[in-house]
């Protein structure tokens, strides 16, 4: 990489699942990466392999407090992403999304950095349109147990667009759909990690409801490619843009694939569905294809295989 193409890039939430893969990718691309994390759900193990690199730096910091650093680009990923983690301290979750966004946007404004927000398909809530396109405004409960996350992320999007309109900030907003892969937290209660851990331990796989609710699952390497393409997209393109895998699987199908791939003797166990659990989730990624030339390339079978190997390693150690 030529010297003037090399950027100083801040990744908030860089020690988390997606953040650690993003830091790795950006270093591989030749950039200098500053990872900021308060280790609420992220771990040192996720980034241990990056520590020896002279192009990687780590700061322990909570994004709800201001940060003063010199950078060219900011990827704002800091926020617990799984219901178990974001419902543990819902007030802190909203603060992380909202105050975190204000602090990072303030930083971007001061140092004239380009900034990308890791938003979520949860801004669509329990959608009445299927599949969801970016023009859909969503169907969100403002006072439910998931609201700290959903509404926090919606407010963060509002802040991004107001900073763009009011202060001409260069912004990018990605609406990320369910993503899975190595370095997911083993006890985050998300469906993929849950099922794999249960299958590997020979425990029953817990399905909420009858398992007919559908989800789309994007492999982490694909998603990271989408985030980097979005950051480098034409200046006048802000998004929001859906990033995910449109392949739709019922939760029951996922459980059955994981049992087959792990060779587990586990059975399925059906439990009551939690409130606000969406019945259908599938991204329309037409816009990402058109503007970014992006689409996922890893199929569920291959992605699950790599993820299972990672979890086997965790259990082994
Ligand atoms: N993984 C997915 O399927 C998915 C889907 C949609 C959106 N997202 C978004 O992508 C981002 C990353 O998600 P993930 O799956 O890697 O989750 P994660 O929980 O593994 O990572 C979040 C990281 O943010 C850090 N963090 C939390 N609060 C912080 C704070 N106040 N200050 C500094 N750091 C803080 C955590 O310690 C962790 O390292 C999140 O913003 C999430 O909302 C993820």
* Residue 181 CB–ligand 1 contact under 6 Å: no
Q: What's the CA-to-centroid distance between 308 and ligand 1, angstroms?
A: 21
User: Is the CB of 64 within 6 Å of ligand 1?
Assistant: yes
> Which tokens hold the place of 104?
């990072």
Would you say the CB of residue 200 lies under 6 angstroms from ligand 1?
no
| Residue closest by Cα to atom 44 of ligand 1 | 81
Burial of residue 221 (CB within 10 Å: 0-12, 13-18, 19+) is middle
Report DSSP state, residue 309. H
Q: What are 233's two structure tokens? A: 């997209």
Q: Is 50 exposed, middle or buried (0-12, 13-18, 19+ CB in 10 A)?
A: buried
Strand partners, 119: 175
Q: How far is the CA of 81 from the centre of ligand 1 (A)?
A: 5
Closest C-alpha residue for ligand 1 atom 18: 16
Q: Is residue 13 lining ligand 1, measured as CB closer than 6 Å?
A: yes
Distance CA 111, CA 70 (A): 6
Pocket test for ligand 1, best of 11, 13, 97 (most atoms within 8 A of CB): 13
| pLDDT tens track for 104-125 | 999 999 999 999 999 999 999 9
Report the distance separating Cα 55 and Cα 33, nearest Å.
6
Q: Cα-flanking dihedrals φ and ψ of residue 217, to 5°?
A: -130, 120
In 3D space, the residue among 151, 147, 145, 257 whose CA is nearest the CA of residue 211 turns out to be 257
pTM (2 decimals)?
A: 0.96
Q: What is the mean pLDDT of residues 135-151?
A: 95
Reply yes or no on whether 149 is catalytic.
Answer: yes
| Rounded-to-integer distance, Cα 26 and Cα 32, Å | 8
**pLDDT tens digits for range 20-51:** 999 999 999 999 999 999 999 999 999 999 99
Is residue 153 pLDDT above 90, yes or no? yes
User: Which position among 75, 149, 180, 219 bears the catalytic label?
Assistant: 149
Question: What pairing do the DSSP bridges indicate for beta strands 205-208 and 268-271?
Answer: parallel
Backbone angles phi, psi at 165, to 5 degrees: -70, -45
Question: Is it true that the peptide bond before 120 is cis, omega within 30 degrees of 0?
Answer: no
Q: Determine the distance separating the centroid of ligand 1 and the alpha carbon of 265, expressed in angstroms.
A: 33
Ligand 1 near 227 CB (within 6 A): no
What is the arithmetic mean of pLDDT over 66-95?
96
pLDDT (average), residues 197-212: 95
What pLDDT does 122 receive?
94
Residue 93 Cβ inside 6 Å of ligand 1? The answer reads: no
Q: What is the pLDDT of residue 180?
A: 97
């Amino acid at each position: 990489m030529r010297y003037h193409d090399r950027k100083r890039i801040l990744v908030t939430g860089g020690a988390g699942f997606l953040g650690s893969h993003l830091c790795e990718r950006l270093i591989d691309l030749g950039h200098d990466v500053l990872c900021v994390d308060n280790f609420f759900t992220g771990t040192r193990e996720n980034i241990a392999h990056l520590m020896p690199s002279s192009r990687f730096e780590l700061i322990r910091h909570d994004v709800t407090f201001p940060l003063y650093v010199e950078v060219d680009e900011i990827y704002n990923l800091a926020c617990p992403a799984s219901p178990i983690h974001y419902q543990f301290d819902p007030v802190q979750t909203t603060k992380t999304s909202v105050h975190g966004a204000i602090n990072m946007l303030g930083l971007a404004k001061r140092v004239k950095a380009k900034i990308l927000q890791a938003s979520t398909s949860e801004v669509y809530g329990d959608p009445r349109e299927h599949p969801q396109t970016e023009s859909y405004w969503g169907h969100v409960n403002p006072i439910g147990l998931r609201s700290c996350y959903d509404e926090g992320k919606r407010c963060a999007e509002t802040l991004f667009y107001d900073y763009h309109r009011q202060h001409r900030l260069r912004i990018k907003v990605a609406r990320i759909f369910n993503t899975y892969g190595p370095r997911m937290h083993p006890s985050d209660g998300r469906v993929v990690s849950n099922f794999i851990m249960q299958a590997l331990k020979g425990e029953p796989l817990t399905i909420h409801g009858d398992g007919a609710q559908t989800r789309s699952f994007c492999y982490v390497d694909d998603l990271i490619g989408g985030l980097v393409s979005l950051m480098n997209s034409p200046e006048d393109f802000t998004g929001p843009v859906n990033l995910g895998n449109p392949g739709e699987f019922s939760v029951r199908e996922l459980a059955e694939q994981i049992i087959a791939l792990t060779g587990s003797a586990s059975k399925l166990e059906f439990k009551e569905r939690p409130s606000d659990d969406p019945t259908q989730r599938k991204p329309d990624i037409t816009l990402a294809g058109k503007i970014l030339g992006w689409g996922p390339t890893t199929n569920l079978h291959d992605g699950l295989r790599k993820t299972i190997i990672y979890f086997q390693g965790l259990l082994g150690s």
